[in-house]
Every structure is written in C-alpha cells, then in structure tokens.
Structure 1
Amino acid sequence: MSDSPNRRLRALIARKKAVLLPGAANALAARVIEDLGFEAIYVTGAGVTNTFLGMPDIGLLTVTELADHVAAMRDAVSLPLIVDADTGFGNAVNVGRTVRTLERAGASAIQLEDQDFPKRCGHFSGKSVIPTAEMVQKIRAAADARVDRDFVIVTRTDAIAVNGFEDAMARANAFIEAGADMTFVEAPRTPEQIAAIPKLAVPQLLNIVAGGLTPMLPRAELETMGYALVLYANAALQAAVAGMQTVLGHLKAEGSLDGVSDKLAGFAERQRLVNKPHFDALEKKYS
C-alpha cells in the first residue's frame, strides 16, 4: 500500500508543481501517456463519450460504461487514474454507488461537478448548476463511500459561466469544507482569475482546452501561481482525430499511403505499446 496509485496521487498533488495531466479516452491512450513518462492520467468523460459512443459530451455515458473503461485502463497501466464522473450519475445516494463502482474498477480519484443534469462540456454554452447545498451533500456522500482513505475527491464548479467568478470561488470554499481534497474551478476567463484560484485552501487543477475559454498560460507560470495539476483532457484525442483525418483523407484521395507513411506509428512500435512480447512469453510459458 505504501506505493499505491492513490498514495502516489496524493503526494503528487501535494507538491503543487503544476504537473501536466493528459487525458485518455481508452486503454491504448493510457499506455501512450505512461510510456512517455507522465505521472498521472485523467480518464476523460468527453473523450470516452466521443470515442466509445461517437456522441457529444452531454451526459450520455453511463456509469457502467465508464467503469468498464477505467478497469481496462487499470489493467493496462500503473499510473494514478483521475476519473471524470460528471455529475455523479444522480443524487447523493447515486454518488455513493458511483464512487464504490469506480474505486473497485481501479480509479485513484473521482471528479464530480456541480452542473445540473444533463451536464455539458465545461466550455459549452447553456450550462446550469445545482444549488451549493445539494452539491455539498454529494461531496459528503462521496467522501463517506470511499473504501481507501487515500482515494481523492476532486470537485469541479462550472459556476463562472452561470453566476460569475465570485460565486464559483464561494462554491469551491463550500466544497472544501464538505470534504473535497482538491477543487477545480472550470473555465476561468482571465489571467487574474487564474491567479486567484490557487489561493484556495486545497490543491487546485486547471483545465486547458485548445480553442476553449481559458487563456493558455505556460506551465512554469502556473507552477509559480501554485497549481497542483494542469489538465489537457482531450489533447491526445484531438491529435488522434487530426491524424486520422490527414492519413485517411490522403488514402481516399490518392488510393495509397505514399506520402503520409511518416505520420503512421510503425508496426513494431504498435506491438511494443500493447506489450506483445509479454503475451508472447506467456504463450511460451503455458504451451
């Protein structure tokens, strides 16, 4: 237990060193992230919804579908997994079950947000938020439900877009009092707002979205401000989509991969990433 993913995550966020946190939509993306030397993985609800369902991030994914993806990633990697659980899939009672389900699947942390259902991507318009008191009860239920006390409760507020920055900060403070280990004030609009958030009493996460609402400040500047984690939830997914469009567009137009072969991972590299030599060894052992 001394080197459990949960404890490693707690130590990581306590450093407040603006650790880069890439998002993974599936187990292969998680393996790429671990292989490149990152220290933790964010299981992106938007990414899982986009890749698994081919649908937008508007609350369509179920907790069982999410848990299946978390379990596959836990089998594939040893890094801490911070799991985006949207609104917790219901009320405070549902949140307790969600925590138990995702913790069993291998999550090291759960992220809950204060949006009304159906939720929307943090950088979409048309959001609404539940009363602070209702979210406080969800956080209490999440903290009570976890089995491992090192399991991290991350709470996100989307109130900037609905009620303004001051209300978002007030909500974050209330969430901390309710038991949140880390808070996530979504979509700050100015450098001044970004700088104010890490003054909250627990470690903070900042979400950077290419083309989104939050200014893309350098990691070094965010470290100076005191952020614990800097999230790039769907950078890998966006890169994969762009790569598929480029290569397949060329294939459709030209009828071959001549001219784009440099944009493909090699066959041997793909087998290395999915640890084929390990399975070859198992076949030999049990033959």
Structure 2
Amino acid sequence: MCSRITVSWAIQRRRRSNCRSNGKKSSRRQIAQCAYFRRSRPMPTLRNMIAGEKVVPATVVFNPIMAKLAEQAGFPALYLGGGTLGYVKTTLEANLNITEMCQLGVEIGAACPLPLILDAAAGFGDPMHMHRTITMAENAGFAAIEIEDQILPKRAHHHVGIEHMVPLELMVEKVKEAVAARRGDMLIIARTNGMRASDYDDAIRRAEAYKKAGADVLMLGPNTPEDYRFLGERLDPPLMYNARSGGLQGTGMSLEELGSLGCRLFVDSGHPFLAGYKAWKQCYESMAQGMLDPGMSAEEAKAVDQEMKETIGLEAMLEIEKRTVEK
C-alpha cells in the first residue's frame, strides 16, 4: 500500500508542479483550473473498485480537510467512522444520528470526490427504518453504507468489547429492506460481530445469511492471521475488514495476502484520529505554558500555513474573485 500511495502522491505532485511552471508563467485561470482538476475528473465507483482482486485501502476522515489530505496522500476511498466521530464529539457512536452523519457526508463530498463509506452502526432502527436511513445516505452522496447486527440503542460497553447482537432473522430483514430501499449503486455492507460476541461458526452462519439477503460486502472482525485465513477459506469476496490497533501491521499480513483471502476493502478507522489527538494535546499543553508546539517552529508554521491554503484551493477562489468582484 505504501509504495502505491507514494507513487500516486508523486504523480499528483508532478501535476501541481506542471500547473505552476512549464518553462513559462501560468495564468491565474490555468492555476485555478489545475486546482480543481482532480475534483472535476470522473471517479470510478466503489463497486467497480472492489470488482478486481486487489484490496482498496480506505482511511477514516471526519471533516473536509482530512478528506483532502487523504486524497493528496493517494488513498482511493474514505471512511466516515461512527466510533471515531463519536469521540470527536466527546461522546460515543451510540449517541449519533443519521442526520448529522449525512450532513458531514455532504460537506466531505463537496470538498473531495473520493468514494465515502458511511459507518451507520446498526442502521438507526429496525427494518422499517432502513428505508429512510438508506435514502438519506444515498442523497448525501455516500458510496457505501455499513450496517451491523448490534442491538439498538447501542451501548457504551461495545467500546470495551462487550457486544449484544440482534437475532440473525432480524438482521436478515434489515438487510433485505436496505437493499429494497436502495435507488442507485450504493453498496450495502453487512457487518456481524459474531466473532467477538458469539463463536466463529455463528459468525459464518450470519455472514452467509446476510449475503443471501442481498448484502454486497460482508464485514467481520478477525484478530489474527489464522482468523483471516479461516474466513477467506469459507466466505466468498468481497470482504471488508477494519484494522485493530496497529493498523495494517497489526494484522500480521500484507494487503496482497489479505486480497488473496477475499478482502477487497481494508479500513483503518482509528490511527489518524489518535495521531491527531496526540498532536492537538501536545500543541495545547505547550501553548498553555507560553511556548510553541515543539514539533513546529514559527518558520515551519508559515510553510504549513501556505501548504494548507494550497490544499483547500485558495488560489482558485482568489482567481474567481479577480475575474468577477475584485476587478
């Protein structure tokens, strides 16, 4: 993954460099067009992206600037994680609702064209409620929606490894109604927590039932390389996995190995947030003592500020004003 992301990032750097100088000074209009080049390109659908045999890596984002940075780094897909977003709001996923998730989906989609996966927890309701959940998610622009077989309302104990699952039959009906409510090409990802809350046989039984009900992708919770092999030998692709602590390295496997076992989507829903949390904490603690963040000098801050403005496309916005209201 690292090598592919590095190559993609290098290509994007060259594109931006070409926008700035090709032996002659670029016009402001050219700069503006280059700033929006990637946004205007048609993007492959997530369904097409997972149709092959390679794993599509996705990373968690919870605001537009994170989405832009992930895009620049070369990620092909994004993930709006409920657990992470709950922490950002100093609460838990159990207290989130579909409206605030969709609002973020609209904001992220307006800034970044990459396909965005919605972690919709248990779908915000029973089978009847799936119709509004799916319709809202589709209209917010999500490329996929993940629904799990936990009880509602969700409990805080989910975050300490204690799971409470709904009966298999109820989850099957929820998946069926989610599929029936879908109007477009959005993927339905059915997640079972059976490997943590029950046993491996029950997890397989649930996954197979959800697939039969119409789920496009199955998501389970393996912990060891042996778990990944166990699932890969028993379930057909496409499978989706969410990184435990340690990200991809924590799985003990490479993306190629995961791909050979049916994995088509691999999400790290925690590391970017934890890295940001650590950085914010260090920055605020330093500032409270009258000092700058030890990780960034005043000169470095100026460079970062300029880079950030390039990331959001400030030059393109200035060009529009110069052609219109700032003549």
TM-score, L = length of structure 2: 0.79
Q: Determine which structure has more spread, i.e. the larger CA radius of gyration.
A: 2
Name 1:129's counterpart in structure 2: 165
Counterpart CA distance in 2 for 1:64 and 1:37 is 29
2:232, 2:261 within 8 Å by CA — same for their partners in 1? yes
**Partner amino acid for 1:96?**
H
Alpha-carbon spacing, 1:278–1:91, altered in 2? closer, same or farther (3 Å): same
Q: Distance in 2 between matches of 1:183 and 1:79?
A: 21
**What SS class does the counterpart of residue 263 from structure 2 fall into?**
coil
Q: Conserved in 2, the CA contact under 8 Å of 1:18 and 1:222?
A: yes
Give 2:319's aligned residue: 281
Letter in 1 for 2:74: G
Q: Which residue of 2 aligns with 1:15?
A: 52
Partner of 1:249: 285
Residue range with higher mean Cα deviation, 128-137 or 202-211: 202-211
Question: Residue in 2 aligned with 1:189?
Answer: 223
Q: How does 1:18-167 map to 2 (within 5 A)?
A: 18-51=55-88, 53-57=89-93, 59-119=94-154, 124-148=160-184, 150-167=185-202
Alpha-carbon separation, structure 1, partners of 2:220 and 2:242: 9
- What are the superposed Cα offsets for residues 208-238 of structure 1, whole Å, 9 maximum, x if unpaired? 12269x7443323223323111110122111
**Structure 1 residues 273 and 178: alpha-carbon distance in aligned structure 2, compared to 1, 3 A threshold:** same
Q: Which amino acid aligns with 2:314?
A: K
Instruction: Name the CA shift for 1:259/1:193 in 2 (closer, same or farther; >3 Å).
Output: closer
What letter matches 2:236 in structure 1?
A: A
Quote the Cα distance in structure 2 between the aligned partners of 1:181 and 1:219. Answer: 21
Using a 3 Å threshold, how does the CA distance of structure 1 residues 194 and 64 change in structure 2: closer, same or farther?
same
Q: Is the 8 A contact 2:236 2:262 kept in 1?
A: no
Q: Which amino acid aligns with 1:102?
A: A
Deviation at 1:60, TM superposition (A): 0.4
Query: Are positions 1:228 and 2:261 aligned together?
Result: no
The residue that corresponds to 1:176 in the other structure is 211
- Higher mean C-alpha displacement, 89-98 vs 112-121: 112-121
Map Cα deviations across residues 241-278 of structure 1 (whole Å, 9 max, x no partner): 1111122222233x121632168671111112222122
Amino acid at match of 2:63: N
Instruction: Find the residue that maps to 1:35 and give its secondary structure.
Output: helix
CA displacement, residues 157-176 of structure 1 (integer Å, 9 cap, x when unaligned): 01112111110111000000
CA offsets, 1:123-174, max 9 Å, x none? 63221000111011111111111111x2110010011121111101110000
Between 17-26 and 70-79, the greater mean CA deviation after superposition: 17-26
Ranges of 4+ aligned residues in structure 1 off by more than 4 Å: 120-123, 262-265
TM-score (norm 1): 0.90
Does 1 or 2 have the higher relative contact order (CA < 8 Å, sep 6+)? 1
The 3-state SS of whatever aligns with 1:34 is helix
**Alignment partners' CA distance in 2, 1:269 and 1:166:** 51
Distance in 2 (alpha carbons) for counterparts of 1:281 and 1:93: 49
| Matched letter for residue 35 of structure 1 | Q
- Return closer, same or farther for 1:93/1:258 CA change in 2, 3 Å cut-off: closer
8 Å contact 2:225–2:252 — kept in the other structure?
no
* Cα RMSD for the two superposed structures: 2.1
**Cα 1:17–1:28 shift into 2, 3 Å:** same
- Residues 19 and 141 (structure 1), Cα distance of their counterparts in 2 relative to 1, 3 Å cut: same
2:244 paired residue among 209, 224, 234: 209
In the TM superposition, what is the alpha-carbon distance from 1:102 to its structure 2 partner? 0.9
TM-aligned CA deviation for residue 206 of structure 1: 1.2
Structure 1 164/96 Cα, relative in aligned 2: closer, same or farther at 3 Å?
A: same
More helix by share: 2
Matches of 1:237 and 1:202, distance apart in 2: 29
Aligned to 1:237: 273
Structure 2: tracts of 5 or more residues without a match:
1-40
- Tell me by how many angstroms 1:4 deviates: 6.3
Percent identity of the aligned residues? 29
